[in-house]
Amino acid sequence: MEFVFNGKLTLEDFIQFNETHLKKSFFGKYKYLFYLLLIVIFIYSSFFEIKEIINFASVHPEILLKIFLQPSVIFPILGIVLLIIFSKKIMKPIYKKYYNSNKIMTEIKYFNITEDIINIKSDSEDYKLTKDKIYKILYDDDSIYIYFTINGAHIIKKHFINNNSDYDELVKFMKEKYFK
C-alpha cells in the first residue's frame, strides 16, 4: 500500500504541534506539580517572615498593607500567577517568529509513504525515513507527528489528505507498519 499526498503547514498547525509537544514532554506532564512546588517553596521560605509580619500587624495593623505591597512579597506571587495564566499567550509570538524564520517550515511538502519508507520532499530537502530512523510517532485528532529526534518531527495534517476516510486509513496503516 502506498499513500501519496502533499501539504503546507500553517502557523496554526505549527503552534498546535508545539503545544502538543510541550504537553507530552516531561515539563508538560508535571507542569501543575511544578507550579504547586513553586508555591509551596515560596510559602515555606516566607513562613517565618509571614509569622513575624502577622505578630507585628496585630500590634500595628496600619502597616500590614505596606508590607504586603513590598516588591519582595508581591513580585514572586504575581510572577507565579502570571506564569500559570499566560504561559500559552507568551509562547505564541515565539512560535510565530520561529515559523516565519524557518523556510523549510513554510514550504509545500510532498509525502510518499510505503510499508518500508517515508519519503518527504520539498524545495530544500529530500528526507527518507526508514523505521530505524524514527524516534517515535504521536497521533492527535487531526495530526501525525513523526519524530526523527527527541524534538524534531515531520508533521502530517488531516487537511493534507483528500478526505477523512483516507486519513483514517493512513493512521491505521502507520500504527500497523510503524509501531513506535
Residue 33 and residue 13 share a domain: no
Is residue 110 included in any domain, yes or no? yes
Q: Structural domain of residue 66, as residue ranges? A: 29-91
Q: What pLDDT is recorded for position 54?
A: 66
Q: What pLDDT is recorded for position 50?
A: 63
Q: What pLDDT is recorded for position 104?
A: 86
Count how many domains the chain has: 2
Q: Which residues, other chains included, contact 57 with Cβ-Cβ below 8 Å and sequence gap of 6+?
A: 63, 64, 67
Q: What pLDDT is recorded for position 26?
A: 64
Global confidence as pTM: 0.71
- Kindly report the CATH number assigned to the domain that includes residue 127: 2.30.29
**Residue 93 and residue 96: Cα distance in Å, rounded?**
5
